[in-house]
Amino acid sequence: MPLIHVTSNISLSDAEKSNALRTLSQTIAELLGKPERVVMTLWSSAKMTMGGTDAPAAFLELRGVRMPADDTARLSKELSERLSLTAEIRADRIFINFVDIEGKNWGWDGKVLS
Active site (catalytic) residues:
2
What H or E segment, with its residue span, contains residue 112?
strand 111-112
Q: State the burial class of residue 70 (Cβ atoms within 10 Å of its Cβ: 0-12, 13-18, 19+).
A: exposed
